[in-house]
Amino acid sequence: MDTLIETSSFLFLLIGSFLCISGGVGILKFPDFYTRMHAVGVTETLATAMILIGLMLQNPDALVLLKLLFILLLTLLIGPTASHALAQAAIKNGLKPELHKK
Amino acid sequence: MRHTISLSLFLAAFWLLNSGHYSALMLSLGAISIVTVLYIVHRMDVVDHESQPIHLTLKFPVYYAWLIKEIVLANILVVKHIWLSNKSITPTIKTIKASQKTDIGKVIYANSITLTPGTVTVNMEGDQFMVHALLHESIEELEAGDMDRRVTELEN
């Protein structure tokens, strides 16, 4: 049982780290501000969730578990709000997105 | 009144969760701080169906389960395009229509769009959302209106 929890925790943390790195690569690689924001979206949703689930499995204490759950919920609420504020500020100040030409 | 009760229950749970101490002194200090917060938010007049959407409580779990599935799928798609070359992305900006009536429904819809990687709500005026997408297909999926319909069902 312990091995099972350890292994799944390890897997969750590994996937989470990979997603974090992917998000970072996306920020460096994508061409303009708006597309980079989508790369951040990966880091702030699934990567955070995976790492926090991995940490929850490491810790059987109910109080710690609930605290980690709270961090996850807050991140999921704050992330999109901040992204939207950034995007709106950019468009209102006249930053033109690079669009795909058909 | 219902909203005040739900807020105080939430605050009590939040306090207990963060403290982890159950001595009489600590508990009474917690109770005092909750009462103070309740007094302040009542003076600010922000305790209503928007800050405490308890009428949505029963419907949220179903919607969240669906949203989590969408988020996972969108993440896989965006990560795939991060590792592919930049030529594979098709950034698009488009205005789509939201069918929600209440403000809170519109906020849930706009936040769900932004929470899903690959689409960001850039601006909203009335029921017109300006959405920027990493891929052209994501916009088409939004225009098909599955998420829009689910949020509208949620608020009714």
Partner-chain residue, chosen from A41, A76, A79, that has the shortest CB–CB distance to B118: A41
ipTM value of the model? Answer: 0.86
User: Nearest Cα to A23, choosing from B118, B130, B140?
Assistant: B118
A13 found inside a domain: yes
Domain spans in chain B, listed from the N-terminal domain onward:
2-44, 58-155
B110 touches chain A (CB under 8 A): yes
DSSP string, B37-92: HHHHHHHHT--STTTS-GGGTTTHHHHHHHHHHHHHHHHHHHHHHHHS-GGG---E
A85 found inside a domain: yes
pLDDT number for residue B30: 92
Partner-chain residue, chosen from A35, A79, A83, that has the shortest CB–CB distance to B91: A35
A59 touches chain B (CB under 8 A): no
Answer yes or no: do B111 and A84 touch at CB < 8 A.
yes
A97 found inside a domain: no
Q: How confident is the model at residue B146 (pLDDT cuts 50, 70, 90)?
A: confident
- Spatial distance between the Cα atoms of B95 and B68, rounded to a whole number of angstroms: 24
B13 touches chain A (CB under 8 A): no
A31 touches chain B (CB under 8 A): yes
A75 found inside a domain: yes
Please give the residue range of the domain that contains residue A79: 2-92
pLDDT number for residue A21: 93
Q: Between vectors from CA B154 to CA B59 and to CA B125, what angle results, nearest 5°?
A: 145
A39 found inside a domain: yes
pLDDT at A102 > cutoff 70: no
What is the H or E stretch that residue B124 is in?
Answer: strand B119-125
A98 found inside a domain: no
pLDDT at B50 > cutoff 80: no
A64 found inside a domain: yes
* Closest approach of A88 to chain B, Cα-based (Å): 5
Q: How confident is the model at residue A47 (pLDDT cuts 50, 70, 90)?
A: very high
User: Based on C-alpha coordinates, what's the Rg of chain B?
Assistant: 20
Q: How confident is the model at residue B66 (pLDDT cuts 50, 70, 90)?
A: very high
How many domains are contained in chain A? 1
A33 touches chain B (CB under 8 A): no
pLDDT number for residue A96: 84
